[in-house]
Amino acid sequence: MNLTLVPISGKAKIKEINHPFLRTKLLEMGVTLGNEVTITMRAPFGGPIAFRCGNSIISIRLEDAHHIMVN
């Protein structure tokens, strides 16, 4: 399952990110494989989603979030 399918307030553990550029970027932002994230916001009409990881909230466009696999 990818991150876009997690409902608001839902928790998920990051399993894999199928996009080296995004994977490295998220790594640098402190989001690593195995981290637990919580979806905090969803913009209407297919806009970005936001998730909490540790103490920060990161927003990401749906097209990029598709690459983040969770369980």
Partner 1 sequence: MNIFLFGNPNCGKSTLFNLLTGLRQKVGNFPGVTVEKKTGVFSLHEEKHTLIDFPGVYSIYPKSQEELVVYEALKEIHSSVEPRVGVVVVDASNFERGLFLFSQLADLGIPLVLVINMIDLAERNGITIHLDALKNELKHTPIAVMNARVGLGKDRLLNALAKQIKEQKSESYFAINSTLYESEAIAQQEAEAINRQQSIKNMGESVVGKKEREVKKSKLDWWLTHPIIGYALFALILLVMFQAVFTLSSYPMDAIEWLFQRIAVGCAAWIPAGVFQDLICAGILPGISGVLVFIPQIALLFFFIALLEDSGYLARAVFLMDRLVRPFGMNGRSVVPLLSSMACAIPGIMATRGIPNSKERLITLFVAPLMSCSARIPVYTLLISVVIPKQRLFGIVQLQGLVLFALYILGIISALGIAFILHRILKQTTRSLYLMEIPDFKPPHWRNIFTTIIEKIKVFTLEAGGIILALSIVIWGLSNYGPTEERAEAITQLKTENVYKKGNALEKTQLESAVLLEHSFLGKFGKTIEPAIAPLGYDWKIGIAISSSFLAREVFVGTLSTIYAHDEASGSFRLREKLMHEMHADGTKKFTLASGISLMVFYVFALQCLSTMAVARRETGSWKIPLAQLFLYGALAYVSALICFHFF
Binding site for partner 1 (CB under 8 A): 8-9, 20-30, 32, 38, 40-48, 50, 52, 54-61, 64
Structural contact between residues 15 and 69, judged by C-beta atoms closer than 8 angstroms: yes
CB of 40 to partner 1, least distance (A): 6
* Residue closer to partner 1 (CB basis): 5 or 43: 43
CA distance 69 to 17: 6
> Residue 57 in 3-state DSSP?
strand
Give residues with Cβ within 8 angstroms of 44, minimum separation 6: none
CB of 34 to partner 1, least distance (A): 11
* Residue closer to partner 1 (CB basis): 2 or 38: 38
CB of 1 to partner 1, least distance (A): 21
Q: What is the DSSP letter of 67?
A: T
